[in-house]
């Protein structure tokens, strides 16, 4: 079937994101699916422009050679930002629509929290966007709703089980958990067999259990004070950060304090992102730990009998959603785990499917949340370890202005004109700031991948500054450093970047890829390795709570899991005010927690909000609908970014890369 990539109608000055997206005419998603090689029975349509991709695609193409695997990351974000999502989309448009390579963007699904809160949409920006952007930014195909439903079913199961165990004898629990049929027989459900196996009771006939075995089977004895599982909602609602459940007449005896998280912080989201098949997701959901028993044993979703039901609620969510860019290149949108508490990467399954469809000479570009010290390190050590996939190349996104800020430039305040340090040539300030970029380049090279620096150039960036950036990037070990303008020009503005990525993939042997640490190190040793090797810390200080948790998880057999550091994204250190490359600091670990289903231990370096709050002027003030046409109005980045229009301009003195240069954290 013939396929022609849509041509962009570039307008100067560049209109708003939603104006660009609304003026575009998406191709029918069926046409995109056929073009990339999907069969009719491998897609489930969700309207004209979205479709779920069946996991059977992986089985059909299991013998196909994988394409080149590229991750987009960045320096530590600043208020000027770098534009990783926009770069990811622009790069794929360049590879596909301009260089005629099979290319796929694999990106996270945005949360409703930032969409209606501060950050706004996450479809890219300018002429490098995913469309239809309103469908992308809102309900899409309901995956986050499925996660919310599954998470809260498990929450209900926890409190209900505590109530029933507290009000019934062993005999009563047994009678209700394993009831007699009309003929007087009893039988275990499959999930009950799982619990029996865990308990070491090798029996399948309920009538053969002893009283002691029945008691062990029916009583989970969850410690209400140590439950780690929270309810979730995909809305920025600060008043749910601390709640009391159990206020009903029959439940008052069991009241306890707990809280809500935002849905993308649910462990179920991390499970979705890290599972490799439906059976793998079933096992991961079942082994999620909700807290310990009073005896200190981990209590899982399968112990509560709910692992299978969680999987049923997630059976459609496990399939990635196929969408398209403004230039008709394919995008697989799947999962959106928190980049602090979880690993901040889209799904393994989306990458698996894309790599097979791309084939030997194709490219799959995925994005890692936050800077390379968080997102990229977790991509390599957690995501790639779970998938077994080996990346070829990492693209690290930066701007000269942001690097000057890391070099000690004046603070940037929204609505205030930029200081002359950012608009005039300042080689000394830039050279100091490039230390942050150089540090990240050297870190990325430790994993054995090629490294390409992508820089959005502004008219105020002098030739000497550009040359200094290129020279120091190469000195730090980058394969190349490339200027690009995909926000204003779409894929055409990222052609040189695409060529640099092609060359880096050719120059890099995937077999050289390696992890930062082996899993058989202790929890402490793995934490210390990340702190020293990636952040540049002198050492690590563990609180008493952290020490106790490490001992508990080691005793429970969870010490061989990878580490997912929960740390500020704004600095290489734990202090967000320390820019550049901080030295002479000790990394404080205040607590250590575990996501056993997802498969990682996450140390808390600082206080992390797991449900954001709304600002005084949220994005929803701008969002409405034209009741005559049904067209969504105002779904774009937040007002704060609009204020920055007067301080961010491109080489034509038009409004510059607003979306590309503002990269608020996903939880903000």
- Mean pLDDT on 163-175: 97
Annotated active-site residue 339? The verdict is yes
Q: Among residues 188, 370, 447, 542, which one is catalytic?
A: 370
The residue ranking higher by pLDDT, 460 or 270, is: 270
Annotated active-site residue 174? The verdict is no
- Classified as helix, coil or strand, 45 is strand
Neighbouring C-beta atoms of residue 102, cutoff 10 Å: 22
Q: What is the pLDDT of residues 313-350, one digit of tens each?
A: 999 999 999 999 999 999 999 999 988 778 999 999 99
Residue 659 CA to residue 397 CA, distance in Å, equals 14
Q: Among residues 84, 195, 401, 524, which one is catalytic?
A: 84
Q: Among residues 57, 78, 86, 399, which one is catalytic?
A: 86
- Mean pLDDT on 215-241: 94
Q: What is the pLDDT of residues 473-520, one digit of tens each?
A: 999 999 999 999 999 999 999 999 999 999 999 999 999 999 999 999
Residue 159 CA to residue 105 CA, distance in Å, equals 41
Strands, DSSP E only, in 173-314? 231-233, 243-245, 256-258, 260-262, 289-292, 298-300
Tokens 């009391």 belong to 244
- Mean pLDDT on 627-652: 53
pLDDT at 443 over 80: yes
Give the model's confidence band at 641: pLDDT under 50 very low, under 70 low, under 90 confident, else very high: very low
C-alpha distances in Å from residue 10, one per residue of 127, 486, 491: 8, 11, 11
- Mean pLDDT on 148-159: 98
Q: What is the pLDDT of residues 10-47, one digit of tens each?
A: 999 999 888 899 899 999 999 999 999 999 999 999 99
Q: Percentage of the chain with pLDDT > 70?
A: 93
Residue 541 CA to residue 587 CA, distance in Å, equals 6
Task: Give residue 80's pLDDT.
Answer: 61
Task: Give residue 611's pLDDT.
Answer: 80
Residue 74 CA to residue 630 CA, distance in Å, equals 37
Q: Among residues 174, 447, 458, 667, which one is catalytic?
A: 458
pLDDT at 637 over 90: no
Q: Among residues 52, 101, 119, 195, which one is catalytic?
A: 119
Q: Record the tokens describing residue 519, joined without a space.
A: 């899993």
**pLDDT, mean over the chain:** 90
Task: Give residue 439's pLDDT.
Answer: 98
Residue 161 CA to residue 234 CA, distance in Å, equals 26
pLDDT at 648 over 60: no
Cα–Cα–Cα angle for 165, 168, 171, rounded to 5 degrees: 110
Residue 256 CA to residue 227 CA, distance in Å, equals 10
pLDDT at 643 over 90: no
Task: Give residue 656's pLDDT.
Answer: 36
Q: What is the pLDDT of residues 53-65, one digit of tens each?
A: 999 999 999 999 9
Highest mean pLDDT among 403-417, 545-559, 615-629: 545-559
* Cis upstream peptide for 260 (omega within 30°): no
Q: What is the pLDDT of residues 254-311, one digit of tens each?
A: 999 999 999 999 999 999 999 999 999 999 999 999 999 999 999 999 999 999 999 9
Q: Where are the alpha helices (DSSP H) in 413-543?
A: 420-423, 427-445, 463-475, 486-489, 495-507, 523-530
Annotated active-site residue 370? The verdict is yes
Task: Give residue 636's pLDDT.
Answer: 62
pTM given for the model: 0.92
Q: Among residues 339, 354, 531, 537, which one is catalytic?
A: 339
Q: What is the pLDDT of residues 89-134, one digit of tens each?
A: 999 999 999 999 999 999 999 887 666 666 555 678 899 999 998 8
Q: Are 394 and 450 in contact (CB under 8 A)?
A: yes
Task: Give residue 385's pLDDT.
Answer: 97
Q: Are 394 and 372 in contact (CB under 8 A)?
A: yes
Q: Which of 638, 494, 655, 657 is nearest to 113 (CA)?
A: 638
Q: Are 134 and 630 in contact (CB under 8 A)?
A: no
Q: What is the pLDDT of residues 340-395, one digit of tens each?
A: 778 999 999 999 999 999 999 999 999 998 899 999 999 999 999 999 999 999 99
The residue ranking higher by pLDDT, 68 or 80, is: 68
Q: Among residues 487, 558, 600, 667, which one is catalytic?
A: 487
HEC string for 96-160? HHHCCCCEEEEECCCCHHHHHCCCCCCCEECCEEEECHHHHHCCCCCHHHHHHHHHHHHHHHHHH
Give the model's confidence band at 661: pLDDT under 50 very low, under 70 low, under 90 confident, else very high: very low
Give the model's confidence band at 604: pLDDT under 50 very low, under 70 low, under 90 confident, else very high: very high
- Classified as helix, coil or strand, 67 is coil
Q: Are 434 and 403 in contact (CB under 8 A)?
A: yes
Cα atoms in the 13 Å half-sphere on the side-chain side of 630: 1
Q: Are 53 and 319 in contact (CB under 8 A)?
A: yes
In degrees to the nearest 10, what's the CA dihedral of 33, 500, 423, 574? 80
Annotated active-site residue 86? The verdict is yes
Which phi and psi (to 5°) does residue 231 adopt?
-75, 160
Strand 128-131 and strand 321-325: the pairing is antiparallel
Distance of CA 361 to the CA centre of its chain: 27
Residue 247 CA to residue 153 CA, distance in Å, equals 19
Tokens 């259990």 belong to 209
Task: Give residue 122's pLDDT.
Answer: 66
Strand 103-107 and strand 363-367: the pairing is parallel
Neighbouring C-beta atoms of residue 539, cutoff 10 Å: 10
Residue 221 CA to residue 161 CA, distance in Å, equals 9
Residue 441 CA to residue 421 CA, distance in Å, equals 25
Q: Are 356 and 118 in contact (CB under 8 A)?
A: no
Domains of the chain with bracketed CATH: 17-141+316-508 (3.40.50.300), 144-314 (3.30.1510.10), 523-604 (3.10.410.10)
225-257 core/surface letters (b: 16 or more CB in 10 A; e: else): eebbbbbbbbbbeeebeeeeebeeeeeeebeee
Give the model's confidence band at 81: pLDDT under 50 very low, under 70 low, under 90 confident, else very high: low
Q: Among residues 108, 282, 524, 579, which one is catalytic?
A: 108
């Amino acid at each position: 079937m013939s396929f022609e990539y849509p041509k962009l109608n570039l307008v100067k000055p560049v209109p708003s994101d939603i104006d660009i997206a609304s003026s575009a005419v998406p191709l029918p998603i069926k046409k995109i699916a056929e073009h990339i090689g999907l069969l009719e029975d491998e897609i489930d349509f969700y309207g004209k422009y979205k479709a779920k991709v069946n996991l059977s695609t992986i089985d059909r193409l299991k013998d196909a050679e994988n394409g080149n695997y590229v991750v987009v990351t960045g320096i530590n974000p600043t208020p000027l930002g770098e534009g990783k999502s926009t770069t990811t989309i622009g790069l794929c448009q360049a590879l596909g629509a301009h260089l005629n390579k099979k290319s796929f963007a694999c990106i996270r699904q945005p949360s409703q929290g930032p969409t209606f809160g501060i950050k706004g949409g996450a479809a890219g920006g300018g002429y490098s966007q995913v469309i239809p952007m309103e469908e992308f930014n809102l309900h899409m195909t309901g995956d986050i709703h499925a996660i919310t439903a599954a998470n809260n079913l498990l929450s209900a199961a926890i409190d209900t089980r505590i109530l029933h165990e507290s009000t019934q004898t062993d005999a009563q629990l047994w009678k209700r958990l394993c009831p007699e049929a009309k003929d007087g027989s009893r039988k275990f459900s499959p999930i009950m067999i799982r619990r029996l196996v865990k308990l070491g009771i090798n029996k399948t006939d309920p009538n053969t259990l002893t009283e002691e075995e029945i008691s062990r089977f029916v009583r989970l004895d969850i410690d209400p004070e140590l439950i780690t599982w929270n309810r979730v909602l995909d809305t920025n609602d600060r008043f749910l950060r601390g709640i009391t459940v159990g206020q009903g007449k029959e439940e008052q005896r069991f009241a306890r304090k707990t809280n809500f998280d935002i849905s993308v912080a649910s462990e179920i989201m991390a499970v979705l992102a890290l599972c490799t098949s439906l059976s793998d997701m079933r096992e991961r959901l079942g082994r999620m730990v909700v807290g310990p028993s009073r005896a200190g044993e981990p209590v899982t979703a399968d112990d509560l009998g709910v692992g299978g039901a969680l999987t049923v609620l997630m059976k459609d969510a496990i399939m990635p959603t196929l969408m398209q860019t403004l230039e008709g290149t394919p995008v697989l949108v799947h999962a959106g785990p928190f980049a602090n508490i979880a690993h901040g990467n889209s799904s393994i399954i989306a990458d698996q499917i894309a790599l097979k469809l791309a084939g030997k000479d194709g490219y799959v570009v995925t994005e890692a949340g936050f800077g390379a010290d968080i997102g990229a390190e977790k991509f390599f050590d957690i995501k790639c370890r779970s998938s077994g996939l080996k990346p070829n190349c990492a693209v690290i996104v930066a701007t000269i202005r942001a690097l000057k800020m890391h070099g000690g430039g004046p603070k940037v305040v929204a609505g205030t004109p930029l200081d002359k340090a950012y608009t005039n040539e300042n080689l000394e300030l830039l050279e100091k700031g490039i230390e942050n970029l150089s540090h990240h380049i050297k870190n990325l090279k430790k994993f054995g991948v090629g490294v390409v620096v992508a820089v959005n150039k502004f008219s105020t960036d002098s030739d000497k500054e550009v040359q200094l950036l290129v020279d120091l990037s190469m000195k730090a070990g980058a394969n190349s450093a490339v200027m690009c303008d995909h926000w204003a020009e779409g894929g055409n503005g990222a052609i040189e970047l695409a060529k640099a990525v092609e060359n880096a993939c050719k120059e890099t042997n995937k077999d050289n890829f390696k992890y930062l640490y082996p899993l058989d190190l202790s929890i402490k040793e793995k934490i210390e390795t990340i702190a020293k090797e990636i952040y540049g810390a002198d050492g690590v200080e563990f609180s008493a709570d952290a020490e106790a948790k490490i001992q508990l998880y080691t005793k429970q057999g969870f010490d061989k899991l990878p580490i997912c550091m929960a740390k500020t994204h704004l600095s290489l250190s734990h202090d967000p005010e320390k820019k550049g490359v901080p030295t002479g600091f000790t990394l404080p670990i205040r607590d250590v927690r575990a996501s056993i289903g997802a498969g990682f231990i996450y140390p808390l370096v600082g206080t992390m909000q797991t449900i954001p709050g709304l600002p005084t002027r949220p994005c929803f003030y701008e969002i409405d609908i034209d009741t005559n046409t049904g067209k969504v109005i105002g779904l774009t980045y937040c007002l704060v970014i609009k204020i920055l229009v007067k301080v961010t301009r491109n080489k034509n003195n038009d409004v510059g890369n607003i979306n590309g240069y503002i990269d608020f954290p996903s939880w903000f």
